[in-house]
Every structure is written in structure tokens, then in C-alpha cells.
Structure 1
Amino acid sequence: MTPTQHTDPRPTLVTGGTGKTGRRVAERLRLRGRAARTGSRSGTPPFDWNDSATWDAALEGTGSVYLSYYPDLAFPGAADTVGAFCRTAVAAGARRIVLLSGIGEEGARAAEDQLKASGADWTVVRSNWFNQNFSECFFLPPVLAGCLAVPAADTLAPFVDADDVADVAVTALTDPAHTGRTYELSGPRLLSFADVADELSKATGRTITYRPVTVDEYRTVLRDAGQDQTYADVFAVFLDGRNAHLVDGVREVLGRAPRDFTDFARETAATGVWTP
């Protein structure tokens, strides 16, 4: 990595550029005066993980990539797709790639290996579950309904804020000192889903409960909501206790503590997103 790559004027392709972390990464890059190209099916040019014919146009002229794979690196075939994309990016001249990965995911590790083998100047950012899953994603409807039905039993998880993830990713994209490094990110404390329901109840002034269900029962919940039932198996991996520990990547990269769930809940409640 040469010093000139730190100030590379070419845009960064932000895959998942309209998603929880991608949107934040693009915003932060632009605030730093860096060009960011939104990689999504509605982008210009469009980008689709399922259509490799869209990759070349999206990568043309870019110097780096924030790689957030959809729907999840734990899904079958994800690692091979990520590997093919990384090789295409490197061949197109976008050697700097920061991959959003997951802690404790075997599928994610396979995708990381594909990235490292591609010849890219890589950084891996391994994340725990996002706080924003409760405000911008699949847990928003249950919060609005007042009941979180999840196959988590009493497992603890170190939820991390998407703003912290984006701050780490942008630092890695813009500072060559982070090349070849892997960072694991979590929030500052462990929470059960019962704890989360209590935090959300306090923040919203509503009663939000947690109801543990089996994986099979959760498949039914997803089916009834019109969502991909594969997420039931993905969630089961995350919620089997393997990630019930804290890691310090946020402080390592940013020099500050990660955002606490209480602060996230209070500030998010004020936006009205959890008002039925």
C-alpha cells in the first residue's frame, strides 16, 4: 500500500449502499469529501449480487469497495459470489476492499478467505447484530406489535450500533494502516432479548415483551410475515451463545467506546419510528 492510495480521488463503490451500514458509509465518505457510488439495484449504474453482468459497470473507475453482501454471508453460495466479485474488482483496479463480515459465522469465514485470495488490499470488519435491526429491519414490525418472538432462549448478545460499524469501515477505507487487519466489533455490554424488550419499553413508554420460540416456530413467523424462512437458521447460529462475549474493535480503531443500546433506544424512540 502506497501513501498515494490514502488520497485516491476515485470513488468508492458502496455495495448495499441503501442498507443499514452502506447508507451510513456512503454518507460519511461524502462528508470527508470522498466520492461514493451507491451499489444497489436502483443505483446508477445498477448493481445486483445475483447478476454478475452488472458488476463491471458499477466498478468502472472506482478505486475501492465497501463490500456488504446481501442477504447474508451465511447464505449458501455467498462465499463463491464474494470471491468472484472480489476478483472482478481487483481486475478493474479497485484493489482496496473492506468486507463487512459476521462474528461466529462459518460462511462468513469462507467469504473472508475468498477476499484474501483475490489479491485485494483487504480489511475485514466482523460485526455482531446491529441495534438498528430493531428500527430499520426485520424486528421493526414485532416492536411495533409489542412482542419480540425470537428463537433466542436466554442467550446474551453484544449488539453493536450501525453508526459505529460505519465509522470503523470508513476509517479502514481511508487509512492504509488498516490494510490486512481484521477487527471484531460489539457494543459495550451483553443483552438478552428480554433486556432488549425492557430497554425498548422504557424508551417508548409502551409495553414490549419478549417471547422465546423454537426455530421451527420462527420459520412460521417469517412465513406469515412474507420473509425468507432461511433467516430462521441464520438467526439460530447467531443466537446459540457463541457470540456471548465482548470484543474491542470499535475502541481499537476509533479510540472511543462503542454506543450503548440505551442511548440508541432513547434517540431512536424520539424519531417516532416505534410509534404504532
Structure 2
Amino acid sequence: MAIDQTKVQTRDDARPILVLGAHGKTGARVMALLQAAGHAVRAGSRNALPAFDWNDRATWGPALEGVSAVYIAYQPDLCVPGAVETVSDFYQAVAKAGVRKTVLLSGRGEPEAEDAEDALRATALDWTIVRASWFFQNFSENYFLEEIVAGEITLPEGLAPEPFVDADDIAEIAVAALLDPEGGRHGGQLYELTGPEALDFPEAIRRIGQAAHRGIGCRIVTMDDYAAALGQAGLPPDLAWLVIYLFKTVLDGRNTPVADGVQRALDRPPRSFAEYLARTAPTGIWGAAS
């Protein structure tokens, strides 16, 4: 079903803000925060009106027409082949449409994501980059959720601790940057976003089980066995490649140190994994919580 833009624009006196990846973890949160504050929003997705599709450049102009700012979350990830070239061309479309304010969601530790950042810096746009670690919500909104609910998660060996970050923090920073006046506090800023501590996956799973009051196993296998298991589970080859690439690249230790991006952007510490557990476990999403 197409999204009726008249139902997501709440202020007729404001040019809408285009949110790409409107159904994703951060995009949906950015949309919700903007709407709650009464700002006009345009969902950037293939089932919106006007539609937006990264693979159909004819949709870019109509989606950008009349907007005041744009939140860029590339799907499925900036590391996939051709992504940097596509987003670089999209920056030019943004400039051609007369849009100045641009916020890019980038991936911490991904060389290709840094190439996309460099391409944005080279434009005349008023840009902000939010370079994020892996999200807390990967444990509760997809990716690992099904296995956690089943009671055991399988992971490849050799994964370094990761300072997971709350998608709510990312969205709050993105909204602040989207609403920032041109030349304001967030213009030309790169915020490297992490949580306050790095956790390895077995420890994160242990804490989730503790919060949910149930046992959740964590089985570690070789990377080759893990890749084979993805194929046996029916994951499409391109998505299996992406998962293995991210595990080998992002989780090799380069991202383990915490960063101060949330503090710099919001003047407060990042939300902790304990805070995430305290509000998520009572929903019952992980099973036998109470």
C-alpha cells in the first residue's frame, strides 16, 4: 500500500523533510520524532507517493521536489558494490533540487562508507554525518531476534567487542541536524556514535537472557561454517555476502574503542545497553520476560 503523504505532513506552512529508509530502524525513528514535533515529513520508500527507489533514478527528482532537507540511509548498506557511486550521484540530485541540508547515516569502520562521506564533504551541501556502530536494536527488531527467541544464537568465531549504540540516539541526533539552521551547530560535523561500553556478543546475549529471565545459548562456530549455515538457511547470496563482509571487516577490533559523538551532539552521554534492556525486555519481545 502506498503511503499517503497528506497523512504524514502535519504542517502546511513547512517544506517537508525527506527521510530515506523510512521503514528502517533509524528512518522510522527520525520520521516519528519529526512528526511528533509537528514537522512536515516525506517518506522516501518505494511504496510512498511520490515513490523513491535507489535503483530507479527517475524517482529521485519527484521525491526531492520542494523538500527542505534530506536524511540519507542507503539500503542495504554503503559497503555493497556500486553504493558509493549511487549515493554520490544522489548528492548531485539533491543539489540540483535546491536542497541544502543533508544528513548521512554512515557505518563505523566501513571503508566504503568513508568514501561516501568523502563524496558528501566534496559537495557544497550543508552536511552532517552520523557514523554509527551496530545498533542495540539488531537484537530486538531483526537480524538476531529469531534465534534469541528460539533460545540459541549461532555466531562466527573471532568477533571483537562492539560498542553498540541505541538507534534512538542516532535518530535524535539526525533530527537535531535536520532542523539545524544553515551554518548552525551541526553543519559540517561528523559524529562518531557508540554506546558507553564495548560488549562481545556472548556477553550481550548473556545480559539479554538475564533481562528476559530465560536461558539463551550462544554457539560459536568457524567463519566458514557460519557462511555455510547462512546458505543452508536460505539467505540470498548477496545478503549472505554482506553479513560475512561486515563480520570480517567491522568486527575485527577496529571499532572497539568508544567515541564521544553522542555527547558532542546532544550534550549528554549515550544511552547504555542496560537502559535498552530495561525498556525492551518488559515488552516480551525476547520471550519469557515479565
Q: Normalising by structure 2, what TM-score? A: 0.89
Q: Pairwise mapping of residues 59-138 of structure 1 onto structure 2 (< 5 A)?
A: 59-138=64-143
Q: Is the 8 A contact 2:164 2:195 kept in 1?
A: yes
Distance 1:260 1:12, change over 3 A: same
Equivalent pairs: percent with the same residue?
48
Q: Pairwise mapping of residues 253-264 of structure 1 onto structure 2 (< 5 A)?
A: 253-264=265-276
CA distance in 2, matches of 1:137, 1:198: 18
Tell me the SS of whatever aligns to 1:212.
strand
Tell me the SS of whatever aligns to 2:52.
coil
**Match 2:256 to one of 244, 248, 254:** 244
User: Which range is displaced more, 162-171 or 232-241?
Assistant: 232-241
Aligned residues: 269
CA distance in 2, matches of 1:90, 1:114: 13
CA distance in 2, matches of 1:198, 1:90: 47
AA partner of residue 134 (structure 2):
W
CA distance in 1, matches of 2:278, 2:165: 15
CA distance in 2, matches of 1:142, 1:41: 29
User: Which range is displaced more, 151-160 or 33-42?
Assistant: 151-160
Tell me the SS of whatever aligns to 1:229.
helix
Q: Normalising by structure 1, what TM-score? A: 0.93
Structure 2, unaligned stretches of length 5 or more?
1-12
> 1:42 Cα deviation (Å)?
1.6
Q: Is the 8 A contact 2:159 2:252 kept in 1?
A: no
The answer to whether residue 193 in structure 2 is matched with residue 185 in structure 1 is: yes
**Match 1:207 to one of 203, 215, 235:** 215
**Match 1:195 to one of 200, 203, 221:** 203
CA distance in 2, matches of 1:257, 1:137: 26
Q: Is the 8 A contact 1:17 1:40 kept in 2?
A: yes
Structure 1 runs of 4+ aligned residues shifted over 6 Å read none
AA partner of residue 77 (structure 1):
G
AA partner of residue 259 (structure 1):
R
Q: Is the 8 A contact 1:82 1:111 kept in 2?
A: yes
Matching residue of 1:4: none
> 1:152 Cα deviation (Å)?
4.9
User: Which range is displaced more, 152-161 or 247-256?
Assistant: 152-161
The answer to whether residue 240 in structure 2 is matched with residue 229 in structure 1 is: yes
Deviations 1:121-175 (A, max 9, x none): 1111100000000111211111112222222535211000000000111111112
Q: Is the 8 A contact 1:201 1:208 kept in 2?
A: yes
AA partner of residue 35 (structure 2):
R
Q: Is the 8 A contact 1:149 1:213 kept in 2?
A: yes
AA partner of residue 202 (structure 2):
A
Matching residue of 1:167: 172
Tell me the SS of whatever aligns to 2:129.
strand
Matching residue of 1:21: 26
Matching residue of 1:3: none
Tell me the SS of whatever aligns to 1:177.
coil
> 1:63 Cα deviation (Å)?
1.2
CA distance in 2, matches of 1:225, 1:211: 16
